[in-house]
Copies of this chain bind each other. A is one copy, B any other.
Amino acid sequence: MAGRAQGPDSGGAKLIDVARLANCSLATASRVLNGNPRVGQDERERVMRAAADLGYVPNGSARALRSTRSRLVGAIIPTLDHAIYATMVDGLQAKLAESGVSVIISTSHYDLDLEFEQARLLVERGAESIVLVGSAHSAQTMALLDQKRVDYVLTYTSVAADTGAAIGFDNEKAGAAAARFLMDLGHTRLGMIAGITTNNDRAKGRLDGFLAEVAARGHDPEAVPVVEGAYKVESGRQAMRSLMDLPVRPTAVFCGSDILATGAIKYCQQQGIAMPKEISIVGFDNLEIAELTAPELTTLEVPAREMGTLAANYILAPVAQKRYLRQTELPIRIIVRGSTGAAPKFSE
């Protein structure tokens, strides 16, 4: 970080230079470049030409300072290393770019204190809106956004706080749907490989919903073995092993992500556990890999890109419309593939 972006000498043409070349005042030049209609045709053309000739690039800092509009949006996600989040950001960025709004990205690594620091930095940078993941955030963070009047959007959740917006889906409903789907196939011995639930309300929601539905069907949720694993293929494999080593093996396992599910499938293949004959597996996310396993993976589709696009739409919307977009719950589809089947019959 050495060398300056736009030194006084270097960098190049400023608005005053454009104005001089176009033989008009600073004010007029500014108006032209901002599309203000109150300026004559010929003047407008002179300024445009002058700007082009000089290769004029406005100074965003100065503009932001004076106008209090930075055209900057911040996004804080757990990590870019998961397709789910990367794709959401891709959608967000693509949509915002259409309107000339830039995205500053930062990662929290599932740490709420770190998230607060990032939020602070984003506010400092002048972000007009901030996109967050999930509904669990530190009180500090919320207070900051509130005090500084930064509007924010929660994604991957449908639970909106009292101030910001929420655009996502209901993780509990999704977990319940998975349980229902498996029980409808006749499975009664269920298990779950959940993502790490600490500081992760999405992982927790899926687990809670899953167990709640089990209870709703009159089964004992306490009897459902649950293993938590980091978002890694290998943890899925190991989690599956510990489930399969249980005295009473589950016949169906719901995994909190496709990555975990893939590891689970891998374990079954290695152990020669027939799928879906002996074991049914359901994933979560519908990543591209869900079609690469053998058999292909039944999974719940997360509308990652759509959440990004909708968050962008909300951010770009005029205040009048905002209240209608404030709480958007997206439906979550189950994609049935070969990894699930009817529960095996037991001879006992």
Chain B proximity mask over A308-341: 1 for CB below 8 Å, otherwise 0: 0000000111110010000000000000000000
Residues of B within 8 A of A81 (CB): 83, 86-87, 90
Question: Which of B4, B103, B150 lies in contact with A68, CB distance below 8 A?
Answer: B4
Which residues of B sit under 8 angstroms from A6, Cβ to Cβ?
Answer: 68, 126, 148-149
> Which residues of A in the span 25-75 have a Cβ within 8 Å of any Cβ on B?
55, 57-62, 64-65, 68-72
Query: Which of the residues B118, B126, B262, B315 comes within 8 Å of A60, measured between beta carbons?
Result: B126
Indicate whether A123 reaches chain B with its CB closer than 8 angstroms: yes
Is residue A80 contacting chain B, with contact meaning CB distance below 8 A? yes
Residue of A1, A144, A148 most packed against chain B (CB within 10 A): A1
Q: Which residues of B contact A294 (CB under 8 A)?
A: 269, 294
| Residue among A5, A103, A262 with the highest chain B CB neighbour number at 10 A | A5
Q: Does A139 contact B (CB under 8 A)?
A: no
CB of A244 closer than 8 Å to a CB of B? no
CB-CB under 8 A from A55, the residues of chain B are 144, 147
Are A106 and B104 in contact, with the CB atoms below 8 A?
Answer: no
Please tell me if A122 contacts chain B, counting CB pairs below 8 Å: yes
Q: How far is the CB of A108 from chain B (nearest CB, A)?
A: 10
* A89 part of interface (Cβ distance < 8 Å): yes
| Cβ contacts A109-145/B at 8 Å (1 or 0 each) | 0000000001011111111110000000000000010
Segment from A94-102, A187-195, A220-228, A246-254 that makes contact with B: A94-102
Assess whether A5 is in contact with B127, with CB atoms less than 8 Å apart.
Answer: yes
Residue numbers in B under 8 Å from A7 (CB-CB): 68, 149
**Interface flags, A193-212, vs B, CB<8A=1, else 0:** 00000000000000000000
Instruction: Please report the C-alpha to C-alpha distance between residue A62 and residue B94 in the assembled complex, in whole angstroms.
Output: 28
Chain A residues bordering chain B, tally (CB within 8 A): 79
Docked Cα-Cα span, A146 to B335, in Å, equals 50
Residues of B within 8 A of A125 (CB): 60, 72, 102
With A79-B90, A80-B80 known as contacts, the answer to whether A1 contacts B99 (CB < 8 A) is yes
By beta carbon, the residue of chain B nearest A74 is: B102
List A residues at the B interface (Cβ < 8 Å).
1-8, 10-12, 55, 57-62, 64-65, 68-72, 79-81, 83, 86-87, 89-90, 93-94, 97, 99-107, 118, 120-129, 144, 147-151, 233, 259, 262, 266, 269, 288-289, 291-294, 315-319, 322
17 contacts between A and B (CB under 8 A): A1-B71, A1-B315, A5-B69, A5-B126, A58-B124, A59-B126, A60-B126, A61-B65, A80-B89, A81-B87, A93-B105, A97-B107, A102-B125, A103-B104, A262-B292, A269-B294, A288-B289
